[in-house]
Amino acid sequence: ETGVTQTPRHLVMGMTNKKSLKCEQHLGHNAMYWYKQSAKKPLELMFVYNFKEQTENNSVPSRFSPECPNSSHLFLHLHTLQPEDSALYLCASSQDRGGGNIQYFGAGTRLSVL
Amino acid sequence: GEDVEQSLFLSVREGDSSVINCTYTDSSSTYLYWYKQEPGAGLQLLTYIFSNMDMKQDQRLTVLLNKKDKHLSLRIADTQTGDSAIYFCAEGAVSGGYNKLIFGAGTRLAVHP
């Protein structure tokens, strides 16, 4: 148990559905991240929240909408996704400090878009 | 630019040593990291090394850092079947005033009897 919990673990959705991924960290960290992991591609950083403020959005399509209500919770709202969005979505958290950034990951949500 | 490169596959016999190599580009990286991903799981931090160190040892794991060549390696002694996984190298970088990690594509380690 890494202290970062993601739900659900698996999700199947149609292209017209709306769903949300949830991430919760129990480590007292001040930064949280969403990554996308597709087959045969490097890990892609999607969003970063630092002290609840979004500090990075890596040109992610608007059909992905993050929300960080507090430093312990992070959501990824999904709507009108495409089949190519099928991937493992990983959440991570860290205590952001000068020079170091050890990120702790959740187990991920395996998303399949039909 | 920031880039981290690793070989994609490594196959070793059980009991032998495994060496996974990585090159990175950002010479200002303060820390470099190794993560492990088992099937169906997230990334697990294995170890990390501060950039002013040449070597770090932690039980069966040895990390070597050649800062001049921007080369990082992970050696696993007495490799076991439970070590079969994907190993990611990552470098720390600063962007927009905050820290982030740049990951390699991962090296798939297969351990056979």
Gap between the Cα atoms of A5 and A99, Å rounded? 26
pLDDT tier for residue A98 given thresholds of 50, 70 and 90:
low
Q: How many residues does chain A have?
A: 114
Confirm if A63 and A77 have CB atoms less than 8 A apart. Answer: no
Q: How close are the terminal C-alpha atoms of chain B, in Å? A: 41
A31, A55, A99 ranked by CB distance to B96: nearest: A55
Distances (CA, A) of A79 to A15, A65, B15: 8, 9, 48
A96 and B99 within 8 Å at the Cβ level: the answer is yes
Question: What mean pLDDT value characterizes chain A?
Answer: 89
- Calculate mean pLDDT across residues A7-25: 95
DSSP states along B21-39:
EEEE--TT-SEEEEEEE-T
Q: How far is A21 from chain B (nearest CA, A)?
A: 15
Q: Which residue of B has its CA nearest to A100?
A: B31
> Which secondary-structure segment (H or E) carries A18?
strand A18-25
- Chain segment B4-61, per-residue pLDDT in tens: 999 999 999 999 999 999 999 877 778 899 999 998 889 999 999 998 899 999 999 9
Do residue A101 and residue B100 have CB atoms under 8 angstroms apart?
Answer: yes
The answer for residues whose C-beta is within 8 angstroms of residue B112's C-beta and 6 or more apart is: B11, B12, B13, B14
Flag if B88 and A90 touch (Cβ within 8 Å).
no
